[in-house]
Amino acid sequence: MAADITPFIKDAQKLEAQTGIPASITLAQIILESSGKNPGGLSGLAYNAKNLFGVKGRGDAGTYLTATSEFRNGKMQTEQWGFKKYSSYYQSMYDHAVVLSKPRYQKHLQNAKTVNDFAYGIKAGGYATDPQYAPKLLKIIGSYNLAQYDSGKYKYNPISGGSVGSGAAASGDGGAAVPTNDNNMVQTIFFNVSRVGILLILFILMVIFFLRAFPVMDSVTDIIPQTKVLKGVKKLK
């Protein structure tokens, strides 16, 4: 279920007027990074922490811990991270604009002439670890006709092919990531429980091995040879 971007359109347009970031880019990132099963089609992070872009760290309302999907060495894996928690959705969108205003992104965005340039510039700045992040954004913009919300300063060039899915962003300063869905959360819990179970079994096996190697001595005959015990008995008689 795609996130309903209706409540965010005006703020995206307001931020475009202030920062130059096309509203279509902002809205596409919300759909890509914050779609889920909660009210409004939002992910758990977006719904519970008002974090629309998976920005890590501490927000004006604290930190929200959750599992995320990250690309590491070309493979998707689940990790646990702390994400910024915001007091409002606008604060999340404003913070996102601040992140994209950093030099690491602006050196790729300052000469952008199209919406497409923005999508690839954000990726080049290290925003996402997903190699298909830019094409996914552009396909979302075309699928939902998000370019209609732009000021018209930047042209959108439709692309064909590619798939629309979750994008995972790089960790670190200003990095974002995409929270996993409920199924991935269950998988993470199952993995952790399984790991504890394996460690418990190994511990039991070690105890059994120790007991067999060093049996508990339950009688005096385990310490004193039986012949000596018998001689002692004869002398007593």
Among all residues, which ones are annotated catalytic? 70, 95
Beta bridge partners of 176: 55
The amino acid at 114: T
Q: E-strand spans in the chain?
A: 35-38, 42, 63-72, 75-84, 178-179
- Pair of tokens at residue 236: 């007593």
DSSP state of 203: H
Locate 177 and state its tokens: 């990531």
Q: In degrees, to the nearest 5, what angle opens at C-alpha 122 toward C-alphas 121 and 125?
A: 85
Q: How open is the CA angle 203-207-210, to the nearest 5 degrees?
A: 135
Instruction: Using alpha carbons, select from 52, 56, 70 the residue that is nearest to residue 5.
Output: 52
φ, ψ dihedrals at 187, nearest 5°:
-65, -40
